[in-house]
Amino acid sequence: MPTVRLRDASEYPEPARRLFELSKQWFDYDFKEPPAMSRVMAWDPHFGGPHGRAMKRAMAPGEFSRGEKEMVAAAVSGVNACTY
Amino acid sequence: MTGDDRWYEAAFVVGITNALNVVADGLGGAPMPQVEPETAPAEVRTIFADIRAFYGTGGPAADVLGGEIPMPFGLIAHDPGYLADVWAAVKRAFSERRLTRRHKEALAFAVSLTTRSAFGTAFHLGELRRLGVGERGVMEVVGVAQMFSSYTKIADTLQLSSDMADIAPADASGVPDPGAG
């Protein structure tokens, strides 16, 4: 059970909902509701915005592919003992 | 071969990387000497030669790797049979198969960085560079490790359940998702 009540997408202001659209494009998946982390980040766009941009910058294809980086991210999450 | 092969390979790299780091970081400063190649028994020298060949420790990367033989191998070489088995597992895990060796080194570097292993971070950074990964590529791995070390702690603090299960292919194992509910 999350510590906070995660708002539905419709409860967020329009700029945040545009971010949710970008999130859907990033994951290339049509979620019923935006992922929990996207909704958490949208709670404070002044934090979530740059944090998300840093993540996208780090995950963009470069010397390593997006797929290779997703696996690195999974390994990092694993050693951080995070099930999310 | 199945689609899971890459994940098994990744898991083995993560596990054995952590095993090497535990010995190197934990015993590196302890009063336990490494077995030196010059005085090692023949069976150990044979394994050391294979280690050197695998890591190219005779080349310019030797300084980065901390000498001719990476520390954890020198430390566990007091038991030649144990060294042989551990090295066989390490070599198998890091050999190029479905995942490339540079990708495996990226995984090992990220895991070492995340677990604050001084040995592993320096060792796998050296390996990444030896395998031709540039500063941009290293920074990419640092960025992924750093950002996902942030996301994971935010998720844990708020006790979020995974909502990515719908994206993943169906898991026929029957093992419950610990993040569900």
The pLDDT profile of chain B, 181 residues, written as one tens digit per residue, is 467 899 999 999 999 999 999 999 999 888 899 999 889 999 999 999 999 999 986 554 455 455 578 999 999 999 999 999 999 999 999 999 999 999 999 999 999 999 999 999 999 999 999 999 999 999 999 999 999 999 999 999 999 988 776 666 665 555 555 444 4
* B153 found inside a domain: yes
Please tell me the total count of domains within chain B: 1
CB atoms within 10 A of CB B45: 16
The whole domain housing B143 covers 5-157
Best interface-test mutation with B: which of A7, A55, A63, A69 has the largest number of B CBs within 10 A?
A: A63
ipTM for the whole complex:
0.88
* A3 found inside a domain: no
- Range A66-72 average pLDDT: 95
CATH number at residue B67: 1.20.1290.10
The whole domain housing A24 covers 9-79
* B168 found inside a domain: no
* A2 found inside a domain: no
* A1 found inside a domain: no
Q: Across the interface, which of B10, B114, B143 has its CB nearest the CB of A58?
A: B143
Please tell me the total count of domains within chain A: 1
Rg, Å, chain A Cα set: 14
* A38 found inside a domain: yes
Model pTM above 0.90? no
Q: Judge: A77–B18 Cβ closer than 8 Å, yes or no.
A: no
Spatial contact of A76 and B114, defined as CB atoms under 8 Å apart? yes
pLDDT of residue A69: 97
Q: Which long-range contacts (CB under 8 A, 24 or more apart) does B82-91 make?
A: B83/B44, B83/B47, B84/B43, B84/B47, B86/B19, B87/B47, B87/B50, B87/B51, B89/B12, B89/B16, B90/B16, B90/B20, B91/B50, B91/B54
* A28 found inside a domain: yes
* A59 found inside a domain: yes
Q: Across the interface, which of A54, A75, A84 has its CB nearest the CB of B147?
A: A54
